[in-house]
Amino acid sequence: MDKNNPIVLFDSGVGGLTIAKEVMSEFPNEDIIYFGDTAHLPYGSRPQTEVRRFAFEIIDYFLKLEAKLVIIACNTATAAGLKAAQKRFEVPIIGPIKPGVREATLATTNNKIGVIATEGTIESGVYQRALQTQSANVEVYAQACPKFIPLVEAGELYSQKTKQIAQYYLASLVKEEIDTLLLGCTHFPYLRKVLKEVVGESVNLIYPGRGIALQVRDILESKALLNSNQIKGKREFYISNLDKLSAKFVKLGKEFLNFKELNFKELDLWSG
Ligand code: DGL
Task: Give the right CATH number for 97-206 from 3.40.50.1860, 2.40.50.140, 3.40.1390.40, 3.40.190.10.
Answer: 3.40.50.1860
Task: Please give the distance, rounded to the nearest whole angstrom, from the Cα atom of residue 149 to the centre of ligand 1.
Answer: 7
Contact 34, 236 (CB under 8 A): yes
Secondary structure of residue 115 in the 3-state scheme: strand
> Catalytic pick from 142, 182, 183, 185?
185
Q: Is the CB of 69 within 6 Å of ligand 1?
A: no
Q: Is the CB of 11 within 6 Å of ligand 1?
A: yes
Pocket test for ligand 1, best of 9, 10, 12 (most atoms within 8 A of CB): 12
Sheet hosting strand 264-266, strand order edge to edge: 93-94, 69-72, 7-11, 32-36, 235-239, 264-266
Task: Please give the distance, rounded to the nearest whole angstrom, from the Cα atom of residue 75 to the centre of ligand 1.
Answer: 6
Q: CA of 37: how far to CAs of 17, 101, 112, 129, in Å?
A: 12, 25, 34, 28
**Domain regions of the chain by residue span:** 7-95+209-266, 97-206
User: If we measure between CA atoms, which residue out of 219, 235, 211 comes closest to residue 6?
Assistant: 235
| Beta-sheet strands, E only, within 118-184 | 139-144, 180-183
Contact 223, 5 (CB under 8 A): no
Task: Please give the distance, rounded to the nearest whole angstrom, from the Cα atom of residue 230 to the centre of ligand 1.
Answer: 34
Task: Please give the distance, rounded to the nearest whole angstrom, from the Cα atom of residue 216 to the centre of ligand 1.
Answer: 21
Beta bridge mates, 36: 11, 239
Sheet hosting strand 112-117, strand order edge to edge: 139-144, 112-117, 180-183, 204-206
Burial of 241 (C-beta count, 10 Å sphere; 0-12/13-18/19+): middle
Q: CA of 65: how far to CAs of 59, 178, 257, in Å?
A: 10, 44, 26
Angle at 39 between CA 80 and CA 233, to 5 degrees: 80
Catalytic residue list contains 145: no
| Beta-sheet strands, E only, within 1-89 | 7-11, 32-36, 69-72
Q: pTM of the entire structure?
A: 0.97
User: Can you spell out the DSSP letters for 80-105?
Assistant: HHHHHHHHH-SS-EE-SHHHHHHHHH
Pocket test for ligand 1, best of 40, 75, 115 (most atoms within 8 A of CB): 75
Domain 7-95+209-266 has CATH 3.40.50.1860: yes
Could you check whether 7-95+209-266 and 97-206 share the same CATH topology? yes
- Closest-CA residue, ligand 1 atom 2, reads 74
Q: Is the CB of 185 within 6 Å of ligand 1?
A: yes
**Atom number in ligand 1 closest to CA 41:** 8
Helix, strand and coil in the chain, % to nearest 5: 45, 15, 35
d(CA 73, CA 208): 10
Q: Is the CB of 208 within 6 Å of ligand 1?
A: no
Task: Please give the distance, rounded to the nearest whole angstrom, from the Cα atom of residue 186 to the centre of ligand 1.
Answer: 6
pLDDT at 100 (0 to 100): 95
pLDDT at 130 (0 to 100): 97
User: If we measure between CA atoms, which residue out of 82, 84, 91, 87 comes closest to residue 61?
Assistant: 91
In tens digits, what is the pLDDT along the chain, a chain of 272 residues? 899 999 999 999 999 999 999 999 999 999 999 999 999 999 999 999 999 999 999 999 999 999 999 999 999 999 999 999 999 999 999 999 999 999 999 999 999 999 999 999 999 999 999 999 999 999 999 999 999 999 999 999 999 999 999 999 999 999 999 999 999 999 999 999 999 999 999 999 999 999 999 999 999 999 999 998 889 999 999 999 999 999 999 999 999 999 988 999 999 999 86
For 19, what's the count of Cα atoms within 13 Å in the CB-facing half-sphere?
39
pLDDT at 272 (0 to 100): 64
> Catalytic pick from 8, 23, 24, 74?
74
pLDDT at 215 (0 to 100): 97
Residue-wise over 187-205: b if at least 16 C-beta within 10 A, else e?
bbbbbeebbeebbeeebbb
